[in-house]
Structure 1
Amino acid sequence: MASADEASGAPASGSGRLLTGVAWAVLLLGLWLWGREATEGPGGSSAPTTGDVAAVGRPLGVPLPPARDPLRPAGPSTVEIPSIGVKAPVVTRGLDTTGAVDPPPFATPQTVGWFGSGTRPGAEGAALFVGHVDTQTRPAVFYGLSTARPGEKIRVTRTDGSVAEFTIDDVQVVSRDRFDAKKVYGVRQPGRAELRLITCGGTYDRASGAYTANVVVSAYLTDARGI
């Protein structure tokens, strides 16, 4: 995530990194709270999201395949979203000195970060991937994430050589002032292997130097190869 591009009139010098940091702050606070619950007690809620979020695309009548049984745990190495042209390496991210989840480095904007202390993708629970939406001068790995739609596929190649295929079932824009970590990161259906992909969204707020929302794509495991 980063400041808006030059056409928006946002600052275009060293202040870009500061604005990027502010844009991450709300998201990372939510991740920290969620991560703490994941290690100290039950993580998340199975309750559906409510009016605190806006649906980007949830067309009626989209046939979705049944969920398959979760896989044995294994870490991720790459993630692919064919419908939006994403194929990117995945790196493990932990907590920084402030207790927040470290985003991918600014120097590697086409890299996706996985919260390594949480669920492994394909295993039971909700695995969490985060990525930048843009940099000071160009789109980043999750620039097109808000255009993803239910029914489209996400493939995660795992460190054991298997490929876990997820089907998107929800795309939402969650406003900063209504961000609820349990609703965003919690498991939607107990017993499933789920995936969350998150980046900045909404509009760029010049007054606060941050984006107004986060894009949250939810998916669940429907197929696997090489297991």
Structure 2
Amino acid sequence: MTPPSPTGFSDAPRALRLVLADDERMVRTALRVILEAEPDLTVVGEAADGAEAVTVVRERQPDVVLMDVRMPGIDGIRATERIVGAPGTPPRVLVVTTFENDAFVYEALRAGASGFLLKRTDADTLVQAVRLVARGDTLLFPAAVRALAGAHGRAAPAAPPWVARLTGREGDVLRLMARGLTNAEIAARMEVGAATVKTHVAGVLAKTGARDRTQAVIAAYEAGFVRSS
């Protein structure tokens, strides 16, 4: 056990608070067992459908929601829209799905999810994905996103105005974001500092009107700025 600090409080970081939304109890139980085996993760609520997920999130204020997309009543897409569109600082949503080429996955990403994992993902990958998303990163698999965009994307009839407003460097950063690279990897590839990449990412988000990297990548595919093939 971590000893208390001189102020009387533990110096251990607060555990990440999670909500599990899936209409199959067995799936929720399996996720809970895996996640709560980690000292920095705690499940604070469960939901069997999208409407319940929205309510539980509002009541429990989690950091991350693990969301199934195919649920009865309000599905995971509409639930994601309501959760990320709520006032304040909404939790991050990580889609956990059975099929990576499901149109529901693409729509969930468009609705504001920070990434997705397959239900057959191993335990270590699941845990790391939750931590990754909680710290504000995205979890995108470039090949899968390209396939989803090609099959289910809504291509714009003409390039939107933001494309012309991107600087050359911002365009380079957006293309690398679409390939799934982190800021550190982009910095190494472009041979610039991490702070410079962070500035370019901020510019991309501002000009595309995206709330996060996932939304910017989706916008890039739908504008034809990044090709799905």
- State the TM bucket, normalised to the shorter chain: under 0.3
Query: Between Structure 1 and Structure 2, which shows a larger proportion of strand residues?
Result: 1
Q: From the CA coordinates, give the structure whose radius of gyration is larger.
A: 2
The answer to which structure, 1 or 2, has the higher relative contact order (CA under 8 A, 6+ apart) is 1
Question: Greater share of helix residues, 1 or 2?
Answer: 2
> TM-score when scaled to structure 1?
0.28
- TM-score, with structure 2 as normaliser: 0.28
